[in-house]
Amino acid sequence: EWAFLASFEQQYGTTHPFFYACQFMEALKMAQDEHKFVFMYLHSPENPFTPPFCRETLSSELVVQFLDANFVSWGGLANRGEGLHLAMTLRPASFPFCALVAPASASGSASGSGGEDIAVLQQMEG
């Protein structure tokens, strides 16, 4: 999302994974077309663990190179828009919250912001 990207770059600079500034379901479709998973990051600026995670992990050249080579990255603000919808759907216990996501139609999957089913393959919280 544009709001997330602008907020992130204002605070932490431009060294970060290539976050697609689009709707989450568009990122999921891109990932499917490229035979990749989506790396989803829900950004919670008020969480005390967010700044060190963004500075030391998401801005790390090694992490950036790995994510850009292997995933379609999407980020959203956990307190508004699609990021809020996904946070309410996935209910992270803490932030920062990252997940590897793929399309799914199996039972037990979560519903994406467009109503499509998504599978959370792996998640990292706090």
Domains defined for the chain, CATH in brackets:
2-125 (3.40.30.10)
pLDDT band at 17 (very low <50, low <70, confident <90, very high): very high
Pick 114 or 64 by higher pLDDT: 64
For Cα atoms 41, 42, 46, give the angle at the middle one, nearest 5 degrees: 130
**Spatial distance between the Cα atoms of 65 and 118, rounded to a whole number of angstroms:** 25
**Spatial distance between the Cα atoms of 34 and 70, rounded to a whole number of angstroms:** 10
Burial 58-80 (b: 16+ CB within 10 A, else e): bbeeeebeebeeebbbbbbbbee
Of 10-24, 38-52, 66-80, 109-123, the one with minimum mean pLDDT is 109-123
13 and 51 Cβ atoms separated by less than 8 Å? no
- Phi and psi, residue 84, nearest 5°: -65, -45
For the CA atoms of 62, 66, 67, 69, the dihedral, rounded to the nearest 10 degrees, stands at: 140
pLDDT digits (tens, 9 = 90+) for 58-96: 999 999 999 999 999 999 999 999 999 999 999 999 999
pLDDT at 67: 98
Q: Enumerate residues 6+ apart whose C-beta is below 8 A from 116.
A: 25, 28, 103
Average pLDDT value for residue range 25-45: 95
- Phi and psi, residue 116, nearest 5°: -75, 155
